[in-house]
Amino acid sequence: MQLAKPTILCTGPIDESAFNLPEYKDANIDVIPFTKIKYELSETDQLQVKELLSKRAVIVFTSNNAVKSIAEYLKNSQPDWKIFCIGNTTYTLAKKYFGNDRITQTASTAAELAEKIIANVQEREVIFFCGNLRRNDLPDAVREKGITVREITVYQTAFSPIALEKEYDAVLFFSPSASESFFSKNSLPVKTVLFVIGNTTAESIRKYSTNKIITADEPDKNKLISKAIHFFTANALHP
């Protein structure tokens, strides 16, 4: 007897490359973004970025959305920046737009990235390109060590909650903001397993749900999708 495919919900956009995962066919996957991203800089922030184009600066990215926004604004400019960024998707985009030589350090989490900034930065100011809902972890940790963090908001995240009528075997969360948006209109049956991109997102979800949470081994959406599918196929083979 053929086993039913697990039903999986991704609460944020996924890369086109995910559809090429060999195991993608082994699940029924819906993609419903629970946040909307708007790439924009205020006039004040645009002036700050323009000023930084001609300076050697230490730049911090913890979001691929921040990289996309800055790359779009800079067009083909290649400023003399030392970049610290979260790994995987954010690192891949930063490398694409700014070149691998500009990437000074990467880390799996914001807390680890803060430690690397503190250990490796001689300058007394770093520039943190972020969104309007950015977390406090990194800037607070860096400031505690006497390093100035200048925050420049380069994109806006807005909640886009939807009340679901369908139950899922698994729900995947890629950010704390998506989890907050999701649980503002939804609750989950006990059977649903939650897969999250990192510890910060897991902490956010624990405010709203006691469901089983499985955290990604690294902050990579495709690998998290694979992990979720393997979880159900493995349990089907070994109940």
* Common-topology check for domains 7-34+162-237 and 37-157: yes
For residue 79 the two structure tokens come to 């400023």
Of 230, 237, 235, 229, the C-alpha closest to 7 is: 229
Q: How much is the pLDDT for 108?
A: 86
Give Cα separations from 131 to 20, 52, 63 (angstroms).
30, 18, 8
**Residues in the chain where the model's pLDDT stays below 70:** 1-3, 236-239
Give the span between the Cα atoms of 155 and 139, in whole angstroms: 17
Domain boundaries, the chain: 7-34+162-237, 37-157
Q: How much is the pLDDT for 237?
A: 45
What is the CATH code for 37-157?
3.40.50.10090
Q: Which alpha helices (DSSP H) does the chain contain, by range?
A: 43-52, 64-74, 89-98, 110-120, 137-144, 176-183, 199-205, 221-237
Of 198, 237, 220, the C-alpha closest to 3 is: 237
224-237 residue pLDDT tens: 999 999 999 877 64
Q: What pairing do the DSSP bridges indicate for beta strands 35-39 and 148-159?
A: antiparallel
Q: What class has domain 7-34+162-237?
A: alpha beta
In this structure, what DSSP letter does residue 75 have? T
Give the span between the Cα atoms of 229 and 214, in whole angstroms: 12
Give the span between the Cα atoms of 186 and 164, in whole angstroms: 7
Q: Which residue has the tokens 């954010």?
A: 90
Q: How much is the pLDDT for 236?
A: 61
Q: How much is the pLDDT for 3?
A: 64
Give the span between the Cα atoms of 101 and 201, in whole angstroms: 30
Q: How much is the pLDDT for 50?
A: 92
pTM (predicted TM-score): 0.87
